[in-house]
Chains A and B, each alone.
Chain A
Amino acid sequence: MLADYWVLLISAILVNNFVLVQFLGLCPFMGVSNKLEAAMGMAMATTFVLTLASAGSNLTYHYLLLPLGLGYLKTISFILVIAVVVQFTEMAVRKTNPMLYRVLGIYLPLITVNCAVLGLALLNISKDHSFLQSLIFGLGGGAGFSLVLVLFAAMRERLAVADVPTPFRGAALGMVTAGLISLAFMGFAGLV
Chain B
Amino acid sequence: MIDLLAKYPLLSALFTLAGLAGVSGALLAYAAKKFRTEGNPVADEINNLLPQTQCGQCGYPGCRPYAQAIANGDAINKCPPGGAAGIQALAALLGVEPIPLDAEHGEEQKAPMVAFIREAECIGCTKCILACPVDAILGAAKQMHTVIANLCTGCDLCVEPCPVDCIDMISQEESVQTWRWQLPDPVSRRIDVIATDSVRSAVSQDRAA
Contact = CB atoms under 8 A, between A and B. Distances in A.
Interface of A: 35-38, 60, 64-65, 68-70, 73, 76-77, 80-81, 83-84, 87-88, 91-92, 94-95, 98-99, 101-103, 157-158, 160-161
B42 A98 contact: yes
A3 to B, nearest CB: 36
Given A99-B93, A158-B194, 9 more contacts: A38-B95, A65-B16, A76-B17, A81-B20, A87-B28, A99-B95, A101-B42, A102-B95, A161-B195
B49 interface: no
25 contacts: A35-B95, A37-B95, A64-B16, A64-B20, A68-B12, A68-B16, A73-B17, A80-B21, A81-B20, A84-B28, A88-B27, A88-B28, A88-B31, A91-B31, A91-B32, A92-B35, A98-B42, A99-B94, A102-B42, A103-B94, A157-B194, A157-B195, A158-B194, A161-B192, A161-B195
Interface string B17-56: 1001100100110011001110001100100000000000
Contacts, number: 76
A35 B195 CA distance: 10
B24 to A, nearest CB: 4
Contacts of B184: none
B194 A161 contact: yes
Contacts of B36: 95
Nearest to B23: A84
B35 A95 contact: yes
Contacts of A73: 13, 16-17
Interface of B: 5, 9, 12-13, 16-17, 20-21, 24, 27-28, 31-32, 35-37, 41-42, 45, 71, 93-95, 192, 194-196
A99 B49 CA distance: 14
B25 to A, nearest CB: 8
A35 B94 CA distance: 11
B91 to A, nearest CB: 11
- Most chain A CB within a 10 A radius of its CB, from B94, B192, B194: B194
B12 to A, nearest CB: 6
A101 B45 CA distance: 14
The majority secondary structure among interface residues of chain A is: helix
A103 B95 contact: yes
Contacts of A95: 35-37
A77 to B, nearest CB: 6
B22 to A, nearest CB: 11
B93 A81 contact: no
Nearest to A92: B35
A99 B17 contact: no
A77 B16 CA distance: 9
A170 B160 CA distance: 47
Contacts of B20: 60, 64, 77, 80-81
Contacts of B42: 98-99, 101-102
Contacts of B195: 157-158, 160-161
Contacts of B35: 91-92, 94-95
A38 B9 CA distance: 46
Contacts of A87: 28, 31
Contacts of A99: 42, 45, 93-95
Contacts of A36: 196
A-B residue pairs, 9 tightest by C-beta: A91-B35, A98-B41, A95-B35, A84-B24, A160-B195, A103-B95, A161-B195, A98-B42, A88-B31
A132 B42 CA distance: 39
A92 B28 CA distance: 11
